[in-house]
Structure 1
């Protein structure tokens, strides 16, 4: 594990926490699930490029799929 993985994981985890709290308070399913995914997925990915790619996709999903 190197510093880049750790910093990207912290960044996406904190963004996920924000999405999770917002989705829970608003009753919105998409931000809630994306937030949960953003908090959990850095534990399972060991490639920096894959980590950044999946994180950007999960962070952008609530913007494109609003309900």
Structure 2
């Protein structure tokens, strides 16, 4: 256990931090919504839905702040809602 604590301290001193549970939850939920949107877009041949699904799956890798993760995710989901009509 002491070795794990030392490794975490070393990573934090280099600027690496573990994401919060809220961030992990949001990344998983938006990733799953993106996967469903991508598959639906592929099945119905709707390129906009496919690309929004791809964006939902991969944007959490580019965003590190939890509040921004949810804002962008909700905007992309709104895009999916708008695209379906």
TM-score (norm 2): 0.73
Q: What is the CA deviation profile of residues 9-42 of structure 1, one whole-angstrom value per residue up to 9, with x for unaligned ones?
A: 0000000000000000000011100100000001
Structure 1: stretches of 5+ with no match in the other structure = none
Once the two structures are superposed, the pairs formed by residues 23-38 of structure 1 within 5 Å of their partners are 23-38=41-56
Q: Which runs of 4+ in 1 moved over 2 A?
A: none
Q: Which has the larger radius of gyration?
A: 2
1 or 2 for the larger relative contact order (CA 8 Å, sep ≥6)? Answer: 1
1:22 matched to which residue of 2? Answer: 40
TM-score (norm 1): 0.91
Structure 2: stretches of 5+ with no match in the other structure = 1-18
C-alpha root-mean-square deviation of aligned residues, in Å? 1.3
1:4 matched to which residue of 2? Answer: 22
Query: Counterparts of 1:13 and 1:66 in 2: how far apart (Å)?
Result: 19
